Amino acid sequence: PAMKQLLLHLSESHALGKAFVVADLDEEHLFVETAMVDKIKEKLASEMDRISYTPSSVYE
């Protein structure tokens, strides 16, 4: 799944200052450091805002 791949990339690239994935459990689940959960959520929200498209009011 795409979200898991994004999380693995962020962890491996130390995008939050260090690796945070403790274990890759299966195709859909990761075990992450508890202390990093809030930072992970903030980063994911930021990434989703960055890649999301909101149609503008073209027809107004």
15, 6 Cβ separation under 8 angstroms: no
Cα(9)–Cα(56) distance, rounded to whole angstroms?
A: 31
Cβ 20 vs Cβ 46: under 8 Å: no
Which domains, ranges and CATH numbers included, belong to the chain?
Answer: 2-51 (3.30.70.1220)
Label residue 33 exposed, middle or buried (CB < 10 Å: 0-12, 13-18, 19+). Answer: middle
How would you write the pLDDT of the chain (60 residues) with one tens digit per residue?
899 999 999 999 999 999 999 999 999 999 999 999 999 999 999 998 888 877 775 555
How far is 57 from 54, CA to CA, in rounded Å?
10
Q: What is the pLDDT of residue 53?
A: 77
What is the structure's pLDDT at 1?
Answer: 86
